[in-house]
């Protein structure tokens, strides 16, 4: 069986990678729109990017209106700035939200209509040049052909896809994540863990994604606790940056499964950050998914040292699930109630969440039969 494997055109990694940013950018255009949030402006990272571009004679306009997870209204604001400033390529700086927003702005810079018009369709290129600079180690958006934008009218997280959404350049400088707060480190790191687990256990897994996903899982188990406790630990941050990149390249080609499908509606309706809602769901969802592929979950358990090689697959898979739950506890993942979600409001939305999750297509990649009824019961188990 033939397989397609897509990755960004160019990836620069390592501490200090940002310093090479200006080199070669003239091939993308003459003026960039920098898509980011207020934090990157306040901490000076956006200013560093501007200076690097200035040194190469490249113009820059700033759109720092990305707050929280991106919505279609934010994208339209960014698009207006892109056009008004006469930009011809895009730079995304920040966590997954600015990177996803950059991609969506790129879509509407070329294609007519609304983002919702492109749901379920392969987004065609060429798009404006796109440069992704992650400042957290989690979403892997710098390496994917996906973007997730909330439709404010329907309160649905729209999953848009197409190889044209792959960044032309990914600059993965782990030094940019050194100042990330512990809670952000935890939620983004567990997002990367979810990507790697789901990529490895997806029906669409392939040899290349298996290699990347296994490597990412091992890096995360070995380094996330340290990065969470010791934010300035450069080695742990570097390992987590690599893990997020590996996990992104893995799920970009084998897709995600049950956790992500169920996570998006929670984020859209209750504004729980994406990585955190994934973490809240991990235990419940993996417990359901385990019987569909004990051998793959067992391989993960052995890879992270949670299970001896001689342990039967069933027991090794259960050991991996226990290790995942322990890691979530180490990272102090709150429950929905602890986060402040109202139980009655949540239960009132379970039918919609289950339908939206199934409609996303992600649960269908799980190696166990699923339907909306199953998802409703899994949502209830979060309380």
Residue 114 lies in a domain: yes
pLDDT tens digit at each of 383 positions of the chain: 888 999 999 999 999 999 988 778 889 999 999 999 999 999 999 999 999 999 999 999 999 999 888 999 999 999 999 999 999 999 999 999 999 999 999 999 999 999 999 988 999 989 999 999 999 999 999 999 999 999 999 888 898 999 999 999 999 999 999 999 999 999 999 999 999 999 999 999 999 999 999 999 999 999 999 999 999 999 999 999 999 999 999 999 999 999 999 999 999 899 999 999 999 999 999 999 999 999 999 999 999 999 999 999 999 999 999 999 999 999 999 999 999 999 999 999 999 999 999 999 999 999 999 999 999 999 999 99
Assess whether 167 and 301 both reside in one domain.
no
Contact (Cβ atoms closer than 8 angstroms) between residue 284 and residue 381: yes
Assess whether 87 and 144 both reside in one domain.
yes
Assess whether 120 and 35 both reside in one domain.
yes
Assess whether 347 and 263 both reside in one domain.
yes
Assess whether 194 and 102 both reside in one domain.
no
Assess whether 361 and 273 both reside in one domain.
yes
Kind of pairing, strands 89-94 and 129-134?
A: parallel
Residue at a domain's end among 138, 153, 177: 177
State residue 301's pLDDT score.
98
Contact (Cβ atoms closer than 8 angstroms) between residue 143 and residue 252: yes
CATH of the domain at 104: 3.40.50.1970
Residue 2 lies in a domain: no
Assess whether 278 and 220 both reside in one domain.
yes
State residue 359's pLDDT score.
93
pTM above threshold 0.85: yes
State residue 23's pLDDT score.
79
Residue 32 lies in a domain: yes
Residue 345 lies in a domain: yes
Assess whether 61 and 21 both reside in one domain.
yes
State residue 120's pLDDT score.
85
Report the alpha-carbon distance of residue 145 to residue 299 in Å, rounded: 27
Assess whether 164 and 193 both reside in one domain.
no
Residue 241 lies in a domain: yes
Please choose, from the candidates 295, 205, 289, the residue with its C-alpha nearest in 3D space to the C-alpha of residue 250: 205
Residue 127 lies in a domain: yes
Assess whether 242 and 309 both reside in one domain.
yes
Residue at a domain's end among 159, 177, 195: 177
Assess whether 136 and 163 both reside in one domain.
yes
Residue 3 lies in a domain: no
Report the alpha-carbon distance of residue 308 to residue 286 in Å, rounded: 20
Contact (Cβ atoms closer than 8 angstroms) between residue 173 and residue 16: yes
- For 227, the token pair is 């990065």
Residue at a domain's end among 177, 202, 232: 177
Q: Structural domain of residue 33, as residue ranges? A: 10-177
State residue 353's pLDDT score.
97
Residue 90 lies in a domain: yes
- For 197, the token pair is 């687990």
Per the structure, the count of domains in the chain is 2
- For 73, the token pair is 């209204």
């Amino acid at each position: 069986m033939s397989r397609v494997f897509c990755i960004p055109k160019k990836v620069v990694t390592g501490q200090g990678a940002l310093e090479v940013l200006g080199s070669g950018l003239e091939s993308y255009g003459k003026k960039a729109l920098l898509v980011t949030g207020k934090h990157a402006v306040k901490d000076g990272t956006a200013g560093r990017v501007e200076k690097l571009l200035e040194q190469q004679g490249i113009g820059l306009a700033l759109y720092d209106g990305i707050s929280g997870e991106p919505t279609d209204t934010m994208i339209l604001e960014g698009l207006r700035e892109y056009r008004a400033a006469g930009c011809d390529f895009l730079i995304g700086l920040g966590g997954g939200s600015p990177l996803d927003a950059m991609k969506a702005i790129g879509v509407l810079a070329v294609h007519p209509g609304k983002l919702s018009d492109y749901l379920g369709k392969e987004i065609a290129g060429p798009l404006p040049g796109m440069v992704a600079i992650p400042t957290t180690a989690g979403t892997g958006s710098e390496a994917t052909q996906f973007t997730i934008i909330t439709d404010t009218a329907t309160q649905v997280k729209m999953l848009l896809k197409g190889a044209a959404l792959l960044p032309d350049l990914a600059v993965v400088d782990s030094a940019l994540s050194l100042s990330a707060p512990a809670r952000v480190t935890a939620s983004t790191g567990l997002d990367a863990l979810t990507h790697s687990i789901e990529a490895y256990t997806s029906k669409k897994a392939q040899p290349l994604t298996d290699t990347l996903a296994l490597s990412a899982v091992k890096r995360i188990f070995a380094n996330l606790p340290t990065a969470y406790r010791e934010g300035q630990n450069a080695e742990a941050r570097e390992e987590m940056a690599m893990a997020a990149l590996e996990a992104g390249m893995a799920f970009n080609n084998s897709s995600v499964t049950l956790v992500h499908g169920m996570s998006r509606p929670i984020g859209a309706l209750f504004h729980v950050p994406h990585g955190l809602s994934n973490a809240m769901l991990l235990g419940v969802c993996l417990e359901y998914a385990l019987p569909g592929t004990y051998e793959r979950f067992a391989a993960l358990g052995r890879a992270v040292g949670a299970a001896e090689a001689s342990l039967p697959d069933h027991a090794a898979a259960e050991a991996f699930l226990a290790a995942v739950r322990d890691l979530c506890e180490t990272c102090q993942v709150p429950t929905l109630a602890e986060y402040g979600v109202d139980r009655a409001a949540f239960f009132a939305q379970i039918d919609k969440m289950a339908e939206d999750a199934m409609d996303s297509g992600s649960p269908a990649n799980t190696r166990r039969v699923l339907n909306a009824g199953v998802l409703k019961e899994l949502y209830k188990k979060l309380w």
